[in-house]
Amino acid sequence: MIRALLLWLLIYGPALADRQTFPPADEAERDPTLVAFRNDLLADVTAQNTDALIAAACPDIYLSHGGEGGPEELREYLTANDTHWGDLETTLSQPGYFDDEGEFWMPHQWQITLPASLDPYLAYFVTGKNVSLRQAAEPGAPVLSLISHEIVIITSYRNDADYQPIMLTDGTRGFMHSDFLWPMTGHRAAFVKSDAGEWQLCTFVSGD
């Protein structure tokens, strides 16, 4: 399993790990009831139907590290900022996987285990296939390599920049467009079956 792999990244030393690719694989198709639940939930998110989303969530939904969770925190979260609806839609649309407890997690790269030596806030996942790694931070710059579904390191991410300076796990450096970079501390979500056998949204959180 991907989550059992360790990326031995020694980002401050001369020897870095071999590059590894983690192609997306959506395990949702193993359970048609899960597929139906996710489709219905995505429709409610697209419509920004707060009441329907709360009804589909666990009574103690986990939303923040240190928060109390639950429906009122979820309602406050959704009404505080319109971008939260977009974050939720994007996350629920990602391929996911079943963990050892039978919970379904999205996105699929959340199962990658990073080594303790790597600050998780520096780790990003390349979400696309054959994404250009360029020599400079501009669209016409020479392409150094094509990158697919890898962990990369960014020590100085700029929110206002189209291109980010990245380092591959073999030490190769270049620039990649921000649209293809998902922080490993970014949003993730989990569906869990209730005692009655109904799927529920029980986690939507970001951070380490």
At residue 74, the 3 state secondary structure works out as helix
How many CA atoms lie within 13 Å of 170's alpha carbon, on the beta-carbon side?
A: 8
Give the residue ranges of DSSP H helices in 28-112: 32-46, 50-55, 71-80, 83-92
Domain with residue 195: its CATH number is 3.10.450
Same domain, 199 and 164: no
Evaluate the CA torsion angle 28, 34, 39, 44 in order and state its sign. Answer: negative
Do the domain assignments include residue 173? Answer: yes
Domain identity same for 51 and 89: yes
Q: What is the pLDDT along the chain (208 residues), one digit of tens a residue?
A: 344 333 444 444 434 567 889 999 999 999 999 999 999 999 999 999 999 999 999 999 998 877 677 888 889 888 887 788 999 999 999 999 999 999 999 999 999 988 888 899 999 999 999 999 999 999 999 999 999 999 999 999 999 999 999 999 999 999 999 999 999 999 999 999 999 999 999 999 998 7
pLDDT of residue 7: 41
Q: Which residue segment(s) compose the domain that 146 sits in? A: 115-183
Q: What's the Rg (C-alpha) of the chain?
A: 18
Smallest CA-to-CA distance from 187 within 86, 114, 113, 103 is with 86
For residues 195 and 95, state if they share a domain: yes
Q: Is residue 167 part of a domain?
A: yes
pLDDT computed for residue 11 by the predictor:
41
pLDDT of residue 129: 96
pLDDT value for 68: 75
pLDDT score for 192? 98
Instruction: Pull the structure tokens for residue 139.
Output: 């669209």
Residue 10 counted as domain residue? no
Task: Count how many Cα atoms sit within 13 Å of the Cα of residue 141 in the half-sphere of its side chain.
Answer: 15
- Pair 107, 95: CB distance under 8 Å: yes
- Shared domain for 103 and 134, answered yes or no, is no
Kindly state the tokens that stand for 92: 């629920």
**Do both 123 and 153 map to the same domain?**
yes
Four-CA torsion 206, 71, 60, 103, nearest 10 degrees = -60
Q: Are residues 96 and 119 in the same domain?
A: no
Q: Give the per-residue pLDDT at 183.
A: 96
Give the pair of three-digit tokens for residue 172.
């190769």
**Cα separation, 124 vs 106, whole angstroms:** 15
> Which amino acid, residue 176?
M
Domain membership flag for residue 48:
yes
191 assigned to some structural domain: yes
Residue 3 lies in a domain: no
Report if residue 90 sits inside a domain. Answer: yes
In a domain, residue 70? The reply is: yes
Distance CA 117, CA 7 (A): 10
